[in-house]
């Protein structure tokens, strides 16, 4: 029985994910699907590229994208190149981006600039990215990384900040997340 519980908890820990996914459908102006279109997501900060091709029904998925700003492009022979800039990916976010391609030369490009929608309806997951500049400039008692977890949406600290010490997570680990009881987040109990 103890082994079974261990395997269940290990599976739950493995399922946690910080990377995001961009997916959608590639169509032309008449809403006909475009198969085998080349789709590329480029992370602006690092220049790393993730690429795929659309399926027979026009669907595509770009999984395992680290949080950051992205530019997404799509190309197919006989159509103008599609570019979507300013796409912000947060932790565990699933962005739905449908691509409509216009007939023309591939040397021509249609560039769509804009911000990501504030309301993501494709998933109920919530995540947040705290960037390096925020970490470096933020006063953190004891420089304990668990203090950063308390800045996320839906996290309520339940411990006294006077007891935050460097290299000791006993104080900062006392928080509730998403309505869970104190120190019982993700099905695990922390006891000191």
> 105 lies in a domain?
yes
Q: 76-103, pLDDT tens digit by residue? A: 999 999 999 989 888 888 899 999 999 8
> Could you tell me the pLDDT band of residue 186, with boundaries at 50, 70 and 90?
low
Write down which residue in 79, 113, 147 finishes a domain: 113
Do 74 and 105 belong together in one domain? yes
Q: Is the pLDDT of residue 109 over 90?
A: no
Do 145 and 107 belong together in one domain? no
Do 105 and 138 belong together in one domain? no
> 108 lies in a domain?
yes
> 171 lies in a domain?
yes
> 141 lies in a domain?
yes
> 192 lies in a domain?
no
> 179 lies in a domain?
yes
Do 25 and 104 belong together in one domain? yes
Do 80 and 25 belong together in one domain? yes
Give the per-residue pLDDT at 16.
59
Do 82 and 156 belong together in one domain? no
Write down which residue in 113, 141, 156 finishes a domain: 113
> 4 lies in a domain?
no
Q: Three-state SS across the chain?
A: CHHHHHHHHHHHHHCCCCCEEEEEEEECCCCCECCCCEEEEEECCCCCEEEEECCCCCEEEEEEECCEEEEEEEECCCECEEEEEEEEECCCCEEECCEECCECCCCCEEEEECCCCCCCCCCCCCCCCCCHHHHHHCCCHHHCCHHHHCCCCCEEECCCHHHCECCECCCCCCEEECCCCCCCHHHCCCCC
Give the per-residue pLDDT at 123.
64
Name the residue range of residue 66's domain.
17-113
CATH code: domain of residue 46: 2.60.40.1120
> Could you tell me the pLDDT band of residue 65, with boundaries at 50, 70 and 90?
very high
> 122 lies in a domain?
no
Write down which residue in 86, 113, 140 finishes a domain: 113
**Into how many domains does the chain fold?**
2
Q: 156-166, pLDDT tens digit by residue? A: 778 777 666 66
Instruction: Indicate the average pLDDT of the chain.
Output: 77
Is the pTM here over 0.75, yes or no? no
Give the per-residue pLDDT at 6.
47
Do 76 and 144 belong together in one domain? no
């Amino acid at each position: 029985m103890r082994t079974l519980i261990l395997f269940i908890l290990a599976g739950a820990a493995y399922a946690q994910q910080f990377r995001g996914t961009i997916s959608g459908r590639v169509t032309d102006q008449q809403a006909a699907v475009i198969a085998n279109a080349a789709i590329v997501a480029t992370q602006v900060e690092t220049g790393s590229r993730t690429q795929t091709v659309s399926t027979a029904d026009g669907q595509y998925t770009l999984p395992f994208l680290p949080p950051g700003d992205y530019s997404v492009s799509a190309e197919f022979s006989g159509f103008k190149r599609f570019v979507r800039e300013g796409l912000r990916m947060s932790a565990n976010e699933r962005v739905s981006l449908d691509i409509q391609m216009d007939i023309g030369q591939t040397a021509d490009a249609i560039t769509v600039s804009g911000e990501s929608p504030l309301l993501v309806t494709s998933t109920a997951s919530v995540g947040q990215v705290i960037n390096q500049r925020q970490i470096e400039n933020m006063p953190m008692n004891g420089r304990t990384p668990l203090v950063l977890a308390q800045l996320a949406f839906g996290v309520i600290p339940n411990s006294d900040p006077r007891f935050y010490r460097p290299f000791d997570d006993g104080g900062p680990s006392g928080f509730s997340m998403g309505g869970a009881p104190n120190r019982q987040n993700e099905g695990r109990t922390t006891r000191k």
